[in-house]
């Protein structure tokens, strides 16, 4: 609201206060509404304006009433304002739901306006993002908010991640498919990311060689795969044999437990 409009609104307050409500006995809000309606239609609305020489009620019916919008049939949607901070994962929390914002706004505190239909995010008075309102616990993520290298993980796009592994080589693709073979494959996406980082570091040829050895041995540990690459192994490292239990320090020999019993006499001889 501009300063000029703010001034016009406040200029009418004393007139309404002193001429409409002053001296009246009003007990409820309905009494105030009835008094204001009578004052507008029968009293102030029929007085001639000092500058335009027109009655306010006539001016309203002739020029303002035809362009008014219909009376709302639903209650006013009161928005909720908050100031969330954009986290490192580019998500901001509003009303116990999370919404994505573009990467340049990471770490900044923005202003959020949430009504029943939409959530608008502002920074320095400008709208920077618009989302549909989500229920508590919900999430609204726009893939265009994320860089290309992060959009796959942000959207839990397991198919796109598998395609990246397939492009590195068929053996690497098979190893990635084995890693993602789970009822909840998105929980294993970090392992495939670690596998792709090995491809970028050591090259697809070396990684494919150790992946072949690992698949033959049914070994699906990316950390052991990395150690094989570091050590230049072409076969899986042997399993560490189980260590034998050491002899107890105070274990007594068996003969110390023999009782000093006398031997039984031969048959036919009586013991004396």
Domain map of the chain by residue range? 9-66, 80-145, 156-231
pLDDT per residue over 240-269, tens digit each?
666 666 666 667 777 777 676 676 666 666
Q: Is 131 left (phi over 0), alpha (psi -120 to 50) or beta?
A: beta
Contacts for 227 with CB less than 8 Å, ≥ 6 apart: 233, 237
> Token pair for residue 131?
């989302």
* 102 in Cβ contact with 129 (< 8 Å): yes
Query: pTM score, two decimals?
Result: 0.49
pLDDT per residue over 125-137, tens digit each?
899 999 999 999 9
Average pLDDT of the residues in 203-230:
88
More confident residue, 188 or 127: 127
Other C-beta atoms closer than 10 Å to the C-beta of 156 total 13
- Our measurement of the distance from residue 107's CA atom to the centroid of its chain's CA atoms, rounded to an integer in Å, reads 15
Residue 51 has pLDDT above 80, yes or no: yes
pLDDT per residue over 142-182, tens digit each?
888 887 666 666 667 788 788 888 888 899 889 988 888 88
Q: Is 75 left (phi over 0), alpha (psi -120 to 50) or beta?
A: beta
Q: CA–CA distance from 190 to each of 156, 194, 218, 251 (Å)?
A: 11, 6, 20, 50
More confident residue, 48 or 133: 133
| pLDDT at position 2 | 46
CB neighbour class for 114 (10 Å; exposed up to 12, middle 13-18, buried from 19): buried
């Amino acid at each position: 609201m501009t300063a000029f409009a703010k001034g016009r609104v406040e200029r009418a307050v004393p007139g309404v206060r002193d001429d409409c409500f002053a001296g009246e006995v009003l007990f409820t809000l309905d009494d105030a509404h009835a008094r204001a309606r009578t004052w507008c239609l029968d009293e102030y609305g029929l007085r001639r304006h000092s500058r335009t020489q027109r009655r306010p009620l006539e001016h309203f019916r002739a020029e303002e009433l035809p362009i008014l919008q219909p009376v709302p049939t639903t209650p006013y949607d009161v928005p909720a304002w908050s100031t969330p901070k954009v986290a490192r994962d580019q998500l901001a929390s509003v009303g116990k739901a999370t919404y994505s914002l573009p990467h340049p706004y990471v770490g900044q505190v923005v202003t959020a306006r949430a009504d029943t239909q939409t959530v608008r995010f502002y920074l320095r008075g400008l709208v920077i993002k618009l989302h549909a309102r989500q229920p508590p616990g919900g999430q609204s993520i726009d893939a265009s908010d994320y860089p290309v290298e992060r959009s796959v993980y942000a959207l839990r796009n397991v198919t796109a991640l598998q395609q990246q592994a397939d492009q590195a080589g068929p053996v690497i693709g098979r190893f990635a498919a084995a890693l993602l073979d789970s009822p909840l494959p998105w929980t294993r996406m970090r392992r495939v990311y670690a596998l792709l980082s090995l491809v970028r570091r050591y090259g697809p040829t070396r990684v494919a060689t150790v992946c072949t050895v690992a698949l033959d041995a049914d070994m699906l540990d990316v950390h052991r795969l990395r150690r094989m690459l570091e050590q230049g192994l072409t076969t899986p490292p042997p399993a560490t044999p189980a260590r034998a239990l050491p002899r107890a320090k105070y274990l007594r020999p068996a003969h110390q437990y023999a009782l000093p019993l006398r031997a039984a006499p031969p048959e036919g001889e009586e013991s004396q």
